[in-house]
Structure 1
Amino acid sequence: MLIFAALVGVAAEVDTSQVAAQELVKARIGLVRLPSNAPLYIGLERGFFRNEGLDIQLNFFDAASAVPVVVVSGDVDIGLGGLTAAFYNLAAKGGLKIISSTVREKAGYRLDAFLITTKAYNEGFQSWKDLAGKRVAITTVGSSYHLKFVTLAKKNGVDIAKVTFVPLQSLQNQAAAFAGNQVDAASLPALVAENFVKSGQGRLMGWAGDETPSQNGVVVASPATIEKRRVLIEKFLRAYNQSVALYYDSFLDRADERSASLAQQQMLETIARYVQSTPENLKSAMPYYDRQPEVDVADMSRQLAIWQELGMAPKSADIKTMVDLSFNHGTSE
């Protein structure tokens, strides 16, 4: 009888777990496969999203400009991506709402680097004041990489009209063009940039966090999804905020580095698996997040103004209409 009871108990336990698995709600997330989405990967590994009853399906894209498009089309429920001219255009038309933030370019932290090819450097291109007449790799016209160089040019008094931007559609193509000296400069993720410096193919000319600090990424959803699947979004953001806080405490809170380092290795292994890299390579490439995700409305207004000046966003667009404050995230104006 005891054996029978034990078997029944095991069967009941299995049935319960199967029911729990069946009750998970699928949430489709659009993003680019980058270390900058590290908190999401950590949260998935720790089970934070599953604890909220969500079955997260990651949909990876080659460029950030693709993410808002699939959010508007309904191919994904939530997007984590960079702020692009395409994003601002879609949001201005009412197709997108910012519901939280992701990564920032912040002084002292390494997200994206500014590089000049060694060939161009040796030929005299050794300062950003010499940017005029040079070829610059970007993923797409209107991308966050495009914005970084526009901001950098303005900072150094360079006429944007005299810079040739070369859109290459993906980070992989951007890196290949840089390696082949088809361009003179590029902004690339820390991991890629450091490999170019180590190989002698590129010269590190600074970090975007120091040169062009900005709100770099946001969490977005369409108004239709917010209306129809609000509970799903709320559950996602609860787990996401928990993930970001753990990431911050483990990698960015420098008050207790010894304690944090004990948890870092396992998390680095998780991130490495998602971005197809190694923990060793990722150690120096952990970007900045606010511990409580905060939407920097003021900086996004600055970005929007640049795209408007370049004729790449409607003059009537207002960033405040693009942010949904009802999810109780922080804002900075």
Structure 2
Amino acid sequence: MTNLTRRQSLALLGAAAAAPMIPAPAFAGTRLKVGALRFTSHAASFVAFERGYFADEGLDVEFEFFQAAQPMAVAIASGDVDYAVTAISGGLISLAEKGAAKVIGGALSEEEGIDGQKILASVAAFDAGLTSPAMLDGKSYGITQPGSSFHYMGSKIAAKEGVKVSFKPLNKVGAIIGALKSGQIDAWSIVPHIAKGLAGAGKVKIIGNVSDYIPNYQVTTVFTSANNAANERAKTEAFLRAFSMGADDFNAALVDKTAGDEAATEMVNLIHKYVYADKPIEKAEKSIRNGAMRINAGAALNKASVMDQLDWFKSEGMIKDSVTYETLVDDSYVKTIM
């Protein structure tokens, strides 16, 4: 059976129609900068670029890569980046409150039945008894910045277990990995392509699943400037259409595995251009496949999860009580999930 990408299928359909009737994209030549992390969880953007879905919408995309969520939010607010995908952070909420940024959709999600983010312990801490999240009391937990998704996850895990942890801000994911491997911090939580790779190499120990503590967690969102959300609707819709097509291809190839083995291998090779690109594909492939969590179809947004995150930020005194869901989100673009 031949498995076609959505773009290939559309091309075949288009061949049956008269070529002169096909209009040029509405935004032909529109240049965009898209913010991303070099994570498998950002694959929808990579697929949309590599398979020409952005180009089909007339969007000339260039990627700007970051090492944490909050700097990406600042780049959106300053206009250095047009659209981005990352976790909700205190910095993003603050910029939304100031009228500078807006969440417009959902991306990576924890989903029952799909292997998701892992809770990790350093080898030294594990050997000293940190063999489950219940043993986190008094331990150090790595985060990029206060108010990051790592901070949120660690707090929710600690609260459910009734323990207290000491959060250690280390600014960058790479710095957290180094600190965990060397035993300078005791614990962390991260997406599976990183977690399983580190554990498989014997550098850390997996002691739990984030989904056991935060079910249906909307891990990352699609966001843009408040100006784009309010005044550039057609362009924003074009971006979301292309992004969603990339997500569909990714899910079919590596999450639902309905596209066949050849499509899965092709997807791994595509993602490898952006994730673990410094490693041979033979070494990178397993980690890329391990990172295959659900990216929401149609960029649907889990409203209940976003509201839970806002409630946590308020409980920690990181944002004002007056901040609402509508302050952060313009969900007129996508379907919402409760």
With the shorter chain as reference, the TM-score category is: 0.7 to 0.9
**Partner SS state of residue 141, structure 2:** strand
Give, in whole Å, the separation in 2 of the partners of 1:305 and 1:228: 29
Residue 117 of structure 1 aligns to which amino acid in structure 2?
Answer: S
The root-mean-square deviation of aligned C-alpha atoms, in Å, is: 2.0
Report the counterpart of residue 272 of structure 2 in structure 1: 272
Give, in whole Å, the separation in 2 of the partners of 1:147 and 1:332: 20
Q: Does 1:27 align with 2:29?
A: no
Q: Per-residue deviation at 1:228?
A: 4.5
Normalised by the length of structure 1, the TM-score is: 0.86
Q: Per-residue deviation at 1:192?
A: 2.4
Match of 2:325 among 301, 309, 319: 319
Residue pair 1:102, 1:218 contacting (<8 A) in 2 also = yes
Q: Per-residue deviation at 1:86?
A: 1.7
The 3 A distance-change label for structure 1 pair 111 and 139 is farther
Residue pair 1:117, 1:184 contacting (<8 A) in 2 also = yes
Q: Does 1:188 align with 2:193?
A: no
Residue pair 1:108, 1:210 contacting (<8 A) in 2 also = no
Give, in whole Å, the separation in 1 of the partners of 2:190 and 2:331: 32
Give, in whole Å, the separation in 2 of the partners of 1:271 and 1:174: 23
Greater helix proportion: 1
Q: Per-residue deviation at 1:248?
A: 2.0
**Partner SS state of residue 141, structure 1:** coil
Report the counterpart of residue 234 of structure 2 in structure 1: 231
Residue pair 1:30, 1:80 contacting (<8 A) in 2 also = yes
Report the counterpart of residue 297 of structure 1 in structure 2: 303
Match of 1:115 among 117, 120, 131: 120
Q: Does 1:207 align with 2:218?
A: no
The 3 A distance-change label for structure 1 pair 300 and 208 is same
For residues 31-42 of structure 1, the aligned pairs below 5 Å read: 31-42=36-47
Count of matched residue positions in the alignment of Structure 1 and Structure 2: 307
**Partner SS state of residue 74, structure 2:** helix
Residue pair 1:27, 1:232 contacting (<8 A) in 2 also = no
Residue pair 1:191, 1:285 contacting (<8 A) in 2 also = yes
Report the counterpart of residue 308 of structure 1 in structure 2: 314
Residue 304 of structure 2 aligns to which amino acid in structure 1?
Answer: A
For residues 53-132 of structure 1, the aligned pairs below 5 Å read: 53-132=58-137
Give, in whole Å, the separation in 2 of the partners of 1:174 and 1:295: 29
Deviates more, 1:105-114 or 1:298-307: 105-114
Report the counterpart of residue 221 of structure 2 in structure 1: 218
Deviates more, 1:115-124 or 1:200-209: 200-209
Give, in whole Å, the separation in 2 of the partners of 1:96 and 1:50: 25
Residue pair 2:45, 2:243 contacting (<8 A) in 1 also = yes
The 3 A distance-change label for structure 1 pair 280 and 123 is closer
Could you report, residue by residue, the CA deviation over 1:145-196 in whole angstroms, capped at 9, with x for unpaired residues? 11111010111112xxx42111111110000000111011111332222232
The 3 A distance-change label for structure 1 pair 27 and 111 is farther
Deviates more, 1:196-205 or 1:181-190: 196-205
Could you report, residue by residue, the CA deviation over 1:53-73 in whole angstroms, capped at 9, with x for unpaired residues? 111011011101111111111
Residue pair 1:107, 1:210 contacting (<8 A) in 2 also = no
- Identity fraction in percent: 29
Report the counterpart of residue 158 of structure 2 in structure 1: 153
Q: Per-residue deviation at 1:144?
A: 0.5
Give, in whole Å, the separation in 2 of the partners of 1:137 and 1:325: 32
Report the counterpart of residue 137 of structure 1 in structure 2: 142
**Partner SS state of residue 146, structure 2:** coil
Residue 195 of structure 1 aligns to which amino acid in structure 2?
Answer: G
In structure 1, the gaps of 5 or more residues are 1-18
Match of 1:282 among 275, 278, 288: 288
Residue 293 of structure 1 aligns to which amino acid in structure 2?
Answer: A
Residue pair 2:109, 2:219 contacting (<8 A) in 1 also = yes
Residue pair 2:241, 2:298 contacting (<8 A) in 1 also = no
